[in-house]
Amino acid sequence: MGCDIHLYIEKKKKGKWVMAQGVVADEDGNLNVPYPDLKYTGRNYELFGFLAGVRNPENQYFETKGFPKNASKEVKNIFKSWGRDAHTPSYLTLAELKEVDWKDRMIKVSGMKQKDQLKKLKKTLKTKNPDYNLLYDYCQWTNQEDYESFEVSIPISFYFKDFYRDVVDKISMYDWRCEKEEIRIVFWFDN
């Protein structure tokens, strides 16, 4: 069963948190952010672990805070609509996201890879400019004889590049007319 992240942007306006994305109601009255306004829809379990310990607690960086009591009414309603399927809610300000050393921080990635491909990956990791794309394809388990287990350290700037580009960069570029501590992402996960 897969796990996905649900991520929304809020900003502080006149002392209250408000939704910073457009929302529309579907035919059942449920609120949703239109697809073009969604900031991140990827499924990266290493990232989920980094943000909240979901699916990979070994790489957890941020403490999970729970759902914010002062969330905007729209985000509260969307969260409530998920019922028991929503888990591990949390939130992070842009300031907290910007404090991360995105360039040099490493995470451990493990799995199984074909032996000849693993040899190429290990070789490039020893060079000055490693080709991290050689990490792919890998799996978590197989009984195929030509596969071998591995664990390597990869910079989060590579492994989380889509999240950084779609969330941190885009939120940083927009003029929200507030401080970095007054713009945040609120997120949770489903199964």
Digits of tens for pLDDT over the chain (191 positions)? Answer: 689 999 999 999 999 999 887 766 677 766 666 555 667 888 999 999 999 999 988 889 999 999 999 999 999 999 999 999 999 999 999 999 999 999 999 998 888 999 999 999 999 999 999 999 988 888 888 888 999 999 999 999 999 999 999 899 988 888 778 888 999 999 999 98
Do 168 and 181 fall within a single domain? yes
Owning domain of residue 115: 106-156
User: How far apart, in Å, do the first and last CA atoms of the chain sit?
Assistant: 7
Q: Are residues 115 and 35 in the same domain?
A: no
- Number of domain units in the chain: 2
* Beta-bridge partner residues of 16: 13
Could you tell me if 51 and 89 lie in one domain? yes
83: left (phi over 0), alpha (psi -120 to 50) or beta: left
Cα 154 to Cα 189: distance, rounded to the nearest angstrom:
24
Q: Are residues 151 and 172 in the same domain?
A: no
Do 11 and 86 lie in a common domain? Answer: yes
**Residue 39 and residue 9 in one domain:** yes
- Please give the full DSSP string across 81-127, using - where no structure is assigned: HHGGG-EEEEEEEHHHHHHS-TTT-EEEEEEEEEHHHHHHHHHHHTS
DSSP at 177: S
* CB-based contacts of 40, cutoff 8 Å, min separation 6: 5, 7, 162, 163, 166, 167
The Cα 163–Cα 78 span in angstroms is 21
Backbone angles phi, psi at 50, to 5 degrees: -60, -45
> Residue 134, Cβ neighbours under 10 Å: how many?
17
pLDDT at residue 34 in the model: 57
135 plus 57 within the same structural domain = no
Measured in residues, the chain has a length of 191
Residues 87 and 39 in one domain: yes
Based on the fold, state whether residues 94 and 113 are members of the same structural domain.
Answer: no
The model's pTM is 0.85
Q: How many helices (H) and strands (E) does the chain have?
A: 7, 8
Residue pointed to by tokens 């729970």: 66
